[in-house]
Amino acid sequence: MTVTEDAPAPELVAPEPSTVAPAPAGLVAVLASGDHKVLGRLWIVAALAQLLLVLGASLYVAAMRLDLAGLANLTDSSSDWFSQIVTYRAIGGTFLVLLPLTIGLATVVVPLQVGASTIAFPRAAAAAVWGYLVGSGLVIGAYSIDGGPFGSSRDGIRLFVAALALVVVSEVLAWICIMTTVITLRAPGMTLARTPLFSWSLLIAGAVWLLTLPVLAAMLVITYVFVRYLGDDSGGIYARISWAFGPPAVYAFAIPVLGFIATVVPVFSATRHHLNRYARIAISAVGALVVGGWAIPSFVGESTPWLYKLPWVAVSFLILIPVLALVGLWAATLRKGRVTLASPLLFAVASLVMLLVGLLAGAVQAIKPIKTLVDGPGSSLYGTSWTIAVASYVLLSLAIALLGGITFWAPKLIGRSLREGAARGVAALLLVGTVLWSFPDLVSGVLGQGGDIPGPVEENVSTIEALNAASLVGGVFLALAFLGFLSLVVRAIGGREQPGDDPWHGHTLEWATSSPPPPGNFASLPEITSEAPLYDARHREASTP
């Protein structure tokens, strides 16, 4: 008998066929699944369903703004139901649609990009998605019984606060799973410096949200105590929430946009990302600047000393520097490669243009001398519809990037590709719709129109109403684009054409497995010596005689 340092391998005995439990299928497979691909699809489907409701609320608010005289009556304290719709549009668009859609795409793509067989803490990831599904349903239920931030039902208000807290906690849990996957489950050879930029951007965005969402959850707990025991059922509830999606906190939603663009630009340039490490630094700088800017708008006003405004003004301008640096890197990447104008690249360009406009408008808003054309306490741009336009540009840039991400990773999400020509049309329609939806609010803000819940306008009424009509047209374009995209996804799911494992000739590991990926994701992985292992492998094969 030979003595070795290794323990002898146990004898493997195949189980009897009768003792092998059949794999679950159908609804049971979804309800009991810890597979990150199934969980990510649940996030995406639920968020897209919520998107239809938010679209309806947004179009209704835009239509009501066509008659400012009638709107003055609707914003009266006796007609709080209009304020309810306005708040649902903002809260639903951010916490029930965009953040869940980002989490869903990340839950599917991040484990594949880093070469992991699963997501970290799969049971916690499953608990997060089911918590979101229950919480978002309860939020809608609370609104239906007049229990939103401006509701009159005490029980409905308590239900709304508790349900939104459940949604926020679920999203925090989901971000923990995504971040842990990037940090601990990377494939051998993939250092943090070689992490794909989309996964890197989600790591940075997750860190930002882990510093933000718990604060929001704590404020919701305090609000529940006030409502439950002190009878506080006034509109102050919305003031405790709205800071999370107002500038500059709204810039946190831009971080995944940068990661998506940094992913598709090299792929459709057929070359490596130019100065990849500097792109990583720039994305991290955006996250750091967003963290430094939170809570500042609460202290911005006409009577606020300039010293208190300085951090907000600095963040509004400094955040442009890393974003413009990224634009330069992407331009250099496109220049040295062979560009293919595929639909994901068009989505990326549209989202980048809208993000740049939003950031520039935010910087203009921070300049003290710029005022509206109307005198009075609201004579600065902050708090007018200009502020709403800034948030709209940034949030819609994320929406465009997420739909582009679904288009790009559709083979991994549903095992099918979307129709290329129709997807390009959707990207163009989203760009036009975003401009028509948001730009009139910039002009209306200069003319004195109010922000979240517009008040009566005394001057330039006809001009503002015309601008609101143009905004409504943009909303219709956006609705058509979103509905068209949903129809593309449904048609692709029902199609039979197989896209292949790597239809885009991608650079990162998600394209090294089948479409859709099997359980466990990978049979084998290529050698990882850079941030683009498939690009390296493809060129090694091309250079081998």
Residue-wise burial string across 513-527, b where 16 or more C-beta atoms lie within 10 A, e elsewhere = bbbbbeeebbeebbe
- Measured distance CA(487)–CA(483) in Å, rounded: 6
Compare 175 and 497 and report the one with higher pLDDT.
175
What pLDDT sits at residue 316?
84
Phi, psi (deg, nearest 5) at residue 384: -95, -175
Q: Tokens in use for 51?
A: 């998107």
DSSP labels for 207-221?
A: HHHHHHHHHHHHHHH
Q: Which residues pair with 384 in a beta bridge?
A: 450
- Residue in this structure with the two tokens 């005490």, named with its chain if needed: 154
Q: What percent of the chain has pLDDT over 70?
A: 83
Compare 366 and 541 and report the one with higher pLDDT.
366
| CA proximity to 430, closest of 475, 489, 488 | 475
Confidence at 378, pLDDT banded by 50, 70, 90 = very low
Query: Could you tell me if 392 and 436 are in contact, meaning their C-beta atoms sit under 8 angstroms apart?
Result: no
Mean pLDDT of 219-226: 89
Mean pLDDT of 482-498: 90
What pLDDT sits at residue 306?
62
Q: What is the largest CA-CA distance in the chain?
A: 99
Mean pLDDT of 128-149: 94
Compare 73 and 98 and report the one with higher pLDDT.
98
- Measured distance CA(98)–CA(100) in Å, rounded: 6
Mean pLDDT of 233-244: 77
What pLDDT sits at residue 523?
87
DSSP 519: T
- Kindly tell me if the per-residue pLDDT of 422 is higher than 70: yes
pLDDT winner (highest mean) among 19-28, 80-89, 410-419: 410-419
- Measured distance CA(128)–CA(289) in Å, rounded: 28
> Residue 105 is which amino acid?
L
Neighbours of 432 (CB within 10 A): 15
- Kindly tell me if the per-residue pLDDT of 77 is higher than 70: no
Mean pLDDT of 333-338: 94
pLDDT tens for 94-134 read 999 999 999 999 999 999 999 999 999 999 999 999 999 99
- Kindly tell me if the per-residue pLDDT of 262 is higher than 90: yes
Confidence at 421, pLDDT banded by 50, 70, 90 = very high
- Kindly tell me if the per-residue pLDDT of 210 is higher than 60: yes
| CA proximity to 446, closest of 502, 387, 491 | 387
Residue 544 makes CB contacts below 8 A (sequence gap 6+) with none
- Kindly tell me if the per-residue pLDDT of 292 is higher than 80: no
Confidence at 47, pLDDT banded by 50, 70, 90 = very high
- Measured distance CA(315)–CA(301) in Å, rounded: 17
What pLDDT sits at residue 455?
64
- Kindly tell me if the per-residue pLDDT of 22 is higher than 90: no
Please give the mean pLDDT across all residues of the chain: 86
According to CATH, the topology of domain 32-538 is Cytochrome C Oxidase; Chain A (1.20.210)
- Measured distance CA(53)–CA(428) in Å, rounded: 23
- Kindly tell me if the per-residue pLDDT of 409 is higher than 70: yes
Q: Residue 230 to residues 158, 190, 331, 388: CA-CA distances in angstroms? A: 12, 54, 57, 32
What pLDDT sits at residue 377?
41
- Kindly tell me if the per-residue pLDDT of 336 is higher than 70: yes
Mean pLDDT is lowest, of 37-46, 156-165, 361-370, for 361-370
> Residue 356 is which amino acid?
L
Confidence at 545, pLDDT banded by 50, 70, 90 = low
- Kindly tell me if the per-residue pLDDT of 152 is higher than 90: no
Compare 460 and 474 and report the one with higher pLDDT.
474
What pLDDT sits at residue 235?
57
Q: Which residues pair with 450 in a beta bridge?
A: 384
Residue 227 makes CB contacts below 8 A (sequence gap 6+) with 154, 157, 158, 161, 233, 237
| CA proximity to 98, closest of 283, 280, 255 | 255
- Measured distance CA(121)–CA(491) in Å, rounded: 33
Confidence at 368, pLDDT banded by 50, 70, 90 = low
- Kindly tell me if the per-residue pLDDT of 311 is higher than 80: no
- Provide, for the chain, the percentages of residues in helix, strand and coil under a 3-state DSSP scheme, each rounded to the nearest 5: 70, 0, 30
What pLDDT sits at residue 281?
97
Confidence at 240, pLDDT banded by 50, 70, 90 = confident
Domain ranges of the chain: 32-538
- Kindly tell me if the per-residue pLDDT of 274 is higher than 70: yes
Phi, psi (deg, nearest 5) at residue 59: -65, -35
